[in-house]
């Protein structure tokens, strides 16, 4: 019979006395854009990343004082600190034995440093919450975040695998994303007004965490008052060779965590969320650092198919925007792509447009919210390089060859439009995009789930567009593709019928 444990992989390891507190961070990212996220981490944090075999996750090591910068990454959805990773964990075939091994794992794991990182992360969130409460008192920040109505984004699991998810301690919960009300204030739009102050705060907190006798494992608050921490375990499992469900793994692992720390189980108002990620033979135990996905940072007015900001960032990065580029989203919806572009590439000029007046109104409201957010952080900020227009996608009021980049989320033919209409819409769109894009240097990044229709349309305009790259993604449970197209030197013909 197989052994209970496998070789330990990437893990924080015991910190040497006097050494700076470090952490191995796990991040969930839109599937297909793992390499993009790894490049951003290298560029902004100077850390190399490892892409997980479990799609939609990357891992990287950083000093704990870099947590504020980690939370400002644009390509990641959720963050957690790794307690331990097993790259080849050998589960026993018998269910009871396999679950008993998971229970026994709890006492062997190196919890100390990850819990210190969790404490530091909590202290930073509290500081941000206080700042946000102060800002909410001013007229510039009265816009409240609406959490509903979002379709876009990438599922973190490949639906070809058998998978399930549970959150458990002594019972079973069915909801994947149970969030605290505080999560909106502490995580969304959590960029700080003054990075220097925050860095000092982070450094002070690291020192305090290292030198304090108050530990999460002891169930104490920072003020030294006795408090029993509340927790839950969330298990994500993928693979068809496990003898147990995620509910059973979360229940038994959670029971062992409760016994080990003497914490109290609470499925909704928890302080600590322990993560148990099982993907075939890969097992990762972590502690969540985000209460709500970081993709909820820009949008306050939602439409039927609002795209995740993290996926929008990945699409924009794919086309490599350069300063002074003119970037157009001709089917902008709620404006997720151009708003993300204006926030991250302010040296470019972004134009958003849609034929639906309601979509244009939502995009305009989201741009106003971004302006208020920027003004609340810096009163000297004067606008953003972004305009929104109502137009006809097949008859754009833009000069031929005047645009550098087109980035858009095309209608899937599900919630908006229909697959039948796409057969006429797609070729007409590609032709009009080819007309406005600069020959030879123009590029387009287009997201669609209607891959058959897109391939047929692209074959009809092959003289002006060449497919350079395809990224396969999961959007709202649908298998979709992001296409990077490059404009040829061929002159685009004027509008004509294709079918």
Q: What is the mean pLDDT of the chain?
A: 78
The pLDDT score that the predictor gives to residue 296 is 66
387 within 8 A of 363, measured Cβ to Cβ: no
What six digits make up the tokens of 293?
Answer: 């996905």
Percent residues over pLDDT 70 in the chain: 70
What lies within 8 Å, CB to CB, of 131 at 6+ separation is: 192, 193
Q: Which of 439, 425, 436 is nearest to 486 (CA)?
A: 439
Give residue 125's pLDDT band: very low, low, confident or very high (50, 70, 90): confident
Residue 135 C-alpha from the chain's centroid: 25
Which pLDDT tens digit goes with each residue over 441-454? 999 999 998 889 99
CA distances from 403 to 332, 462, 483 (A): 16, 19, 18
Which pLDDT tens digit goes with each residue over 396-427? 999 999 999 999 999 854 445 556 677 888 99
Q: Has residue 62 got a pLDDT over 60? A: yes
Q: Has residue 13 got a pLDDT over 90? A: no
Alpha helix (H) residue ranges in 109-241: 112-136, 182-187, 195-211
Structural domains in the chain (count)? 1
- Residue 241 domain-assigned (yes or no): no
Q: Which of 61, 45, 51, 48 is nearest to 29 (CA)?
A: 51
* Distance in angstroms (rounded) separating the CA atoms of residues 157 and 155: 6
- Residue 262 domain-assigned (yes or no): no
Four-residue CA torsion sign, 269, 274, 277, 278: negative
- Residue 77 domain-assigned (yes or no): no
What six digits make up the tokens of 226?
Answer: 């006795």
- Residue 79 domain-assigned (yes or no): no
Which pLDDT tens digit goes with each residue over 40-54? 999 999 999 999 877
The pLDDT score that the predictor gives to residue 417 is 52
Which pLDDT tens digit goes with each residue over 305-348? 678 899 999 999 999 999 999 999 999 988 999 999 999 999 99
The pLDDT score that the predictor gives to residue 412 is 57
CA distances from 458 to 18, 372, 400, 417, 467 (A): 60, 40, 20, 19, 8
Mean pLDDT of the region 139-160:
36
What lies within 8 Å, CB to CB, of 461 at 6+ separation is: 427, 430, 431, 434
The pLDDT score that the predictor gives to residue 491 is 87
Mean pLDDT of the region 5-26:
60
> Tell me, what CATH number does 454's domain have?
3.40.50.150
Choose between 410 and 162: higher pLDDT. Answer: 410
* Distance in angstroms (rounded) separating the CA atoms of residues 274 and 278: 13
- What is residue 114's three-state secondary structure? helix
The burial class, CB within 10 Å (0-12 / 13-18 / 19+), for 389 is middle
The pLDDT score that the predictor gives to residue 295 is 65
Give residue 477's pLDDT band: very low, low, confident or very high (50, 70, 90): confident
- Residue 57 domain-assigned (yes or no): no
Element (H, E) at 427: helix 419-436
Q: Which domain holds residue 322?
A: 309-487
- Residue 445 domain-assigned (yes or no): yes
What six digits make up the tokens of 469?
Answer: 């790259």
Range from 95-104, 185-194, 419-428 that averages highest in pLDDT: 95-104
- Residue 354 domain-assigned (yes or no): yes
The pLDDT score that the predictor gives to residue 96 is 94
Range from 46-55, 64-73, 138-147, 469-478 that averages highest in pLDDT: 64-73
Q: Has residue 206 got a pLDDT over 90? A: no
- Residue 442 domain-assigned (yes or no): yes
Q: Which of 229, 289, 293 is nearest to 83 (CA)?
A: 289
């Amino acid at each position: 019979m197989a052994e209970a444990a496998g070789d330990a992989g990437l893990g924080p390891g015991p910190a040497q006395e006097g050494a700076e507190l470090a952490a191995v961070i796990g991040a969930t990212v839109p599937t297909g854009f793992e390499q993009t996220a790894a490049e951003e981490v290298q560029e902004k944090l100077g850390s190399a990343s490892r892409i997980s075999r479990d799609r939609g996750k990357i891992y990287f090591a950083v000093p704990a004082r870099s947590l504020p910068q980690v939370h400002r990454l644009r390509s990641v959805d959720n963050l957690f600190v790794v307690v331990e990773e097993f790259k080849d964990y050998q589960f026993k075939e018998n269910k009871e034995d396999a679950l008993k091994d998971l229970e026994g794992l709890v006492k062997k794991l190196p919890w100390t440093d990850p819990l210190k990182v969790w404490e530091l992360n909590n202290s930073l969130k509290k500081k941000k919450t206080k700042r946000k409460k102060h800002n909410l008192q001013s007229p510039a920040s009265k816009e409240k975040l609406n959490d509903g109505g979002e379709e876009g984004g990438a599922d973190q699991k490949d639906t070809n695998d058998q998978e399930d998810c549970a959150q458990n301690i002594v019972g079973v919960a069915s909801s994947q994303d149970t969030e605290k009300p505080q999560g909106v204030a502490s995580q969304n739009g959590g960029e700080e007004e003054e990075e220097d102050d925050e860095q000092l705060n982070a450094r002070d907190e690291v020192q305090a965490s290292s030198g304090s006798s108050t530990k999460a494992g002891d169930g104490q608050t920072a003020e030294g008052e006795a408090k029993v921490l509340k927790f839950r375990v969330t298990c994500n499992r993928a693979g068809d060779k496990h003898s147990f469900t995620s509910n059973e793994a979360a229940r038994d692992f959670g029971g062992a965590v409760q016994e080990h720390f003497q914490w109290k189980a609470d499925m909704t108002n928890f302080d600590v969320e322990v993560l148990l990620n099982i993907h075939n033979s890969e097992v990762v135990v972590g502690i969540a650092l985000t209460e709500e996905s970081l993709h909820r940072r820009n949008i306050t007015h939602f439409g039927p198919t609002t795209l995740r900001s993290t996926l929008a960032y990945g699409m924009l990065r794919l086309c490599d925007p350069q300063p002074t580029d003119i970037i157009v989203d001709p089917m902008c919806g709620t404006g997720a792509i151009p708003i993300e572009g204006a926030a991250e590439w302010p040296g470019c000029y972004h134009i958003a447009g849609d034929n639906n007046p309601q979509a244009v109104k939502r995009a305009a409201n989201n741009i106003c919210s971004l302006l208020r957010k920027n003004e609340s952080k810096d009163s000297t900020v004067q606008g953003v390089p972004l305009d929104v227009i109502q137009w006809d996608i097949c008859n754009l009021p833009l000069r031929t060859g005047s645009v550098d980049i087109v980035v858009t989320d095309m209608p899937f033919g599900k919630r908006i439009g229909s697959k039948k209409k796409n057969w006429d819409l797609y070729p007409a769109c590609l032709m009009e995009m080819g007309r406005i894009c600069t020959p030879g240097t123009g590029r387009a990044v287009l997201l669609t789930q209607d891959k058959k229709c897109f391939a047929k349309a692209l074959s009809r305009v092959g003289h002006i567009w060449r497919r350079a790259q395809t990224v396969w993604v999961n959007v709202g449970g649908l298998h979709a593709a992001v296409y990077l197209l490059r404009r040829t030197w061929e002159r685009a013909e004027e509008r004509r019928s294709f079918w």
